[in-house]
Amino acid sequence: MTAPLIDPFARAITYLRVSVTDRCDFRCVYCMSENMTFLPKKDLLTLEELDRMCSTFIRLGVEKLRITGGEPLVRRDIMQFFHNMTRHLESGALKELTLTTNGSQLARFSDDLYAAGVRRVNVSLDTLDEKKFAEITRWGRLPQVLNGIDAAQKAGLRIKINAVALKGFNEDELPRITEWCAERDMDLTWIEVMPMGDIGNEDRLDQYWSLNDVRAEYEKNYTVTDLAERTGGPARYVRLEETGQKIGFITPLSHNFCESCNRVRLTCTGELFMCLGQEDMADLRAPLRDHPDTEEPLERAIRAAIEHKPKGHDFDYSRQKVDGQMTRHMSHTGG
């Protein structure tokens, strides 16, 4: 039972993304509907169950743990979970414990996160315009996020900004966002909008801004050099020679990155999604709760799930319709 997790395509699974809550204090238009119905709390894994689950994955070879949501820092007592995971960093079994956040709670928790062993944080931020920020997040306040980023950097956390590329929304801000990140020594990754959840009035085809076009914009003003660097995630990186910045591109639509996929996603209810772009999942909550005194049934369930990890996903806008659209919200799977 100590053999590493290898999927049918000989990819080692070493990266687990864990959604600890489906709740969020924002309502970003591409992530959730404005009037969300959240899961009953009894359906969520407890903090103790999350510890058991993640510890089992780490024992099976997972070396990188990214905590996501919803907004993970709105979950009550979540820092207890982070501090519990510190033991795996200290043993060397876990190489990195990290977090993706909207930044709203970083002013409160940055020092605690650093004390728990977190060294890098991804902050989702699509615009530096306060009015547009309020529009796209519906409930968010930009100054609160910027204050959180200040606090995180002061605490010693390395910040990477994740910006969703949205046609007609933040195209004109590319130079400003890039320069702002350079001034603050923060890396920047652009992400293509993905066809997930209740699209409603938001037309993903109208929003879709190909990252090939984003790169072309950079090439008008910078010398762009491809980098071979990989961080265990889906991003491809370039360097802007004039600033020395590293810019990432996550392109689930215009470029297929599945051949090197080493990650799976666990929801806050214990569902394991082997691919963000597929509906197939495995229920791990049942073997976890049905066998509180042994991890063997959970380990068997994890291995059986990995055996069904697909070769790739199905997102495709090329035929001018949203093929491969997922019915679940991004907040459910954890992005």
268 is annotated as contributing to ligand binding: no
DSSP state of 308: T
Report the pLDDT value the prediction gives residue 313, as an integer from 0 to 100: 58
CATH architecture of the domain covering 15-333: Alpha-Beta Barrel (3.20)
pLDDT of residue 27: 87
Is residue 261 a known part of a binding site? yes
Q: Is 181 annotated as a binding residue?
A: no
Give phi and psi for 164, each to the nearest 5.
-80, 125
Find out whether 17 is annotated in a ligand binding site. Answer: yes
Flag whether 194 is marked binding.
Answer: yes
Give pLDDT, residue 256.
55
CA 28 → CA 102, 135, 225, 333, distances in Å? 10, 9, 32, 15
* 0.85 exceeded by pTM: yes
Place of tokens 């996603």: 265
**Under-70 pLDDT residues of the chain:** 1-2, 194-205, 231-233, 252-257, 276-279, 313-335
The verdict on whether residue 100 carries a ligand-binding annotation is yes
Per domain, the residue ranges of the chain are: 15-333
Q: Is 118 annotated as a binding residue?
A: no
29 marked ligand binding residue: no
User: Which residue is associated with the tokens 């994890």?
Assistant: 302
Q: Is 24 annotated as a binding residue?
A: yes
Tokens of 66: 């990214």
Alpha helices in the chain (DSSP H): 47-59, 78-91, 106-115, 130-137, 142-155, 174-183, 204-207, 211-221, 285-290, 296-306, 330-333
Annotated binding residue 54: no
| Strand partners of residue 121 | 99, 159
- The answer to whether the annotation marks 270 as part of a ligand binding site is no
Residue 203: predicted pLDDT: 56
Annotated binding residue 285: no
Predicted pLDDT at 208: 84
Task: Judge whether 322 is annotated as a binding position.
Answer: no
What would the pLDDT profile of 4-43 be if each residue is shown by its tens digit? Answer: 899 998 999 999 999 999 999 998 888 888 888 889 989 9
- The answer to whether 160 is a known ligand-binding residue is yes
What pLDDT does residue 312 have? Answer: 75
239 is in an annotated binding site: no
